[in-house]
Amino acid sequence: MIYIHIPFCKSFCTYCDFYSEICSQKVQKLFVDELCKEIGERRAEIKSTLGLNTLYIGGGTPSVLEPELLKRIVDTLGYGPYREFTVEVNPDDVTPEYARFLKGLGVNRVSMGVQSFNDDVLRWMNRRHNAQGAVEAFRHLREAGFDNISIDLIFGISSLNREVWEDTLKKAIELRPEHISAYQLTVEEGSNLDELISKGLYQEASDEQCAEQYNVLCSMLRSAGFNHYEISNYAVPGKEAVHNQAYWRRLPYAGLGPGAHSLTGEDTRSWNTSEISGWKREYEHLTPEQIREERLMLGLRTAAGVDGMRIPESDWFISDSIIEGLI
């Protein structure tokens, strides 16, 4: 399992606090130089995590990279063809030519950040695409031959009424993607959304609003034939994300780039950190108790549950007291 973090965007979304920069193509090239160097230096570690042989390139926005830079990264890795090779894209970047490029690169799964099919909501999020652009991008991917497309949606917005949310879900279902990831909006410290709240320009959605929107989401996608296999993830049966499921099972993975973590064996997590002297690897050795708590936390996110004990969808909101009792 390999994850690569591409820390570049063309603009910043209202809610986002992920590490990302708006940089020139020259800086992006320098970044890819360093990333390829990191691949070489960590070759043995990467090989040790190749059990599932999946590659996920996320961000940031990987689709802002020039195609030749993305190809250089994939060529430097050299482990393809991959069982599952996912690239995250912004709809605004997906032209027919770019879709064909991804297909030729060996990508067999695309994750597209749609977030909403309502232009007012998209403007509030400061997304750089509109609803029609997302639909066109999806069609470009289909025409290029992709039969495994995931789209992201966001709910839990105080101004998102039921009619608009249901309309977004209907439009998503009409496209028939193989996978939908739907995330509840969270307020991250330091984000533009956090600043809006501190200035009294935005009021968070109530628990009741969030629960209603989540229930509508679950109901509509279930009726449309999607398997709700993890709290935020829904798939046509057989199209559940191989790579992401492996995270929840705590299989070893190698994370490359500035915002990526790695898990070696069961007990060693590592990540890159920036120091005055340059980049440095940090390591954390987990105790047996920490590993047990992680397994429990990750298992409770999934329909499979913990140690094969399936958890009904109606029970996925579990109180802290119950979790503490299980630990």
Cα 165 to chain centroid distance, Å, stands at 21
Q: Does pLDDT of 156 surpass 60?
A: yes
Q: Are 114 and 73 in contact (CB under 8 A)?
A: no
Q: What is the pTM of this model?
A: 0.90
Q: Are 271 and 260 in contact (CB under 8 A)?
A: yes
Order of strands across the sheet that contains 268-275: 261-264, 268-275, 278-285
Which pLDDT score is estimated for 241? 97
- Phi, psi torsion values for 280, nearest 5 degrees: -145, 145
Which pLDDT score is estimated for 191? 77
Which pLDDT score is estimated for 97? 98
Helix axes 131-143, 96-105, angle to 10 degrees: 50
Which pLDDT score is estimated for 325? 46
| 132-136, 197-201, 299-303, 318-322, range with greatest mean pLDDT | 132-136
Which pLDDT score is estimated for 327? 44
Nearest-angstrom CA–CA distance, 283 and 271: 7
**Tokens read off for 13:** 């979304």
Nearest-angstrom CA–CA distance, 88 and 150: 9
Candidates 292, 302, 301; CA nearest to 326 is 292
- pLDDT tens track for 6-58: 998 776 666 656 666 778 889 999 999 999 999 999 999 999 999 899 999 99
| One-letter-per-residue 3-state SS of 246-259 | HHHCCCCEEEECCC
- pLDDT tens track for 225-275: 999 999 999 999 999 999 999 999 999 999 999 889 999 988 999 998 876
Whether the ω angle into residue 81 lies within 30 degrees of 0, i.e. cis, is: yes
Domains of the chain with CATH codes: 2-247 (3.20.20.70)
- pLDDT tens track for 221-231: 999 999 999 99
3-state secondary structure of 316: coil
Nearest-angstrom CA–CA distance, 324 and 293: 10
- Considering Cα of 62, then 68, then 73, then 79, what sign does the dihedral take? positive
- pLDDT tens track for 176-227: 999 999 999 887 777 777 888 889 888 888 999 999 999 999 999 999 999 9
DSSP code at position 72: H
From the CB of residue 274, how many other CB atoms can be counted at a distance below 10 Å?
10
Q: Are 73 and 32 in contact (CB under 8 A)?
A: yes
